[in-house]
Amino acid sequence: MKKLTPLFRRRPSVYAMIHLAALPGSPGYGGSMSDVLRKAERDAEILVDNGVDGLIVENFGDVPFFLDRVPPVTTAAISVAVNRLRVRFAKPRIPIGVNVLRNDAQAALSIAAATDADFVRINVHVGAAVTDQGLVQGRAAESMRLRTAIGPHLRVMADLRVKHSAPLASFALEEEIGDLVERGRADAVLVTGPRTGAPPEQSFLERVRVLIGAVPLLVASGVTNENAPELAPFVDGMVVGSSLKRGGRVQNPVDGTRVARLMKSLGR
């Protein structure tokens, strides 16, 4: 079996988003895949040069998102981007994850397996959520069997009450975590605020930390250099995107000064 890349060498480990520009076939595509790759590589180099611990690549520019299956061209385009970064940051190896929006776990696992990535993020792994794409349903049974077949080394990071959604039914938090980790077999859990760039309530994060036990926990939205030190004691990792962009705007390029400030706030 392939040797696993440690995902949490430091606590908290900082995973930065690579928000790909619109890909071929999506309404906002600019006509040049070379431009998409150039922007992704530029952002990644600034992030890694300033000390982030890993990267997560997602098709953020492909709005509006498909519900749960993306077309083959999207899978192909993300694969090219992830492979470009995997080769660029092979030595020393930087952990790289894949998230295919809105919820195509099959594509994410396939891309990760084919490009020698390290993990995937799945927004709705178990249960069901009402989103702007409609009703998104978890496919843990399919996803975990596919992982076993094509990439048993891949770790699955799954969201708990993911942003831009509302649960179809209300369950006790203990039950939700149990379903996600014990029945869904997620390797790590992510907690977000209600929308991109919004942090979760610290009291909620603290509750999850107590209930989740030894399972790795990541805060996955709204992290800034101001609140990172307050969130750090409760999590194993942080997923950061918007606050590292120029002007704090998610659609802008990564700003090295902002990355450096975040890392400094965490004592790096």
Predicted local confidence at residue 1, as pLDDT: 58
Q: Which residue has the higher pLDDT, 131 or 56?
A: 56
Domain annotation covers residue 145: yes
Q: Are 77 and 23 in contact (CB under 8 A)?
A: yes
Average pLDDT, integer, range 83-99:
95
Residue 210 has pLDDT above 90, yes or no: yes
Domain annotation covers residue 174: yes
Domain annotation covers residue 62: yes
Residue 138: is it exposed, middle or buried by C-beta count within 10 angstroms (0-12/13-18/19+)?
buried
Domain annotation covers residue 7: no
Portion of the chain with pLDDT greater than 90, in percent: 84
Domain annotation covers residue 5: no
Structure tokens at 185: 């077999």
Query: Binning pLDDT at 50, 70 and 90, where does residue 157 land?
Result: very high
Domain annotation covers residue 137: yes
Average pLDDT, integer, range 87-97:
94
Ranges 61-75, 91-105, 159-173: which has the least confidence: 159-173
The count of domains in the chain is: 1
Domain that holds residue 254: 13-265
Distance, in Å, from the CA atom of 22 to the CA atom of 160, rounded to the nearest integer, reads 27
The conformation of residue 55, written as its DSSP 8-state character, comes to E
Structure tokens at 160: 């708990």
pTM: 0.94
In this structure, which amino acid lies at residue 143?
S
The pLDDT tens digits of the residues spanning 225-268 come to 999 999 999 999 999 999 999 999 999 999 999 999 999 999 99
Query: Binning pLDDT at 50, 70 and 90, where does residue 171 land?
Result: confident
Q: Domain containing 120 — which CATH number?
A: 3.20.20.70
Domain annotation covers residue 81: yes
Helices (H) and strands (E) in the chain, counts: 8, 11
Residue 197 has pLDDT above 80, yes or no: no
Residues 6+ apart with CB under 8 A from 92: none
Domain annotation covers residue 3: no
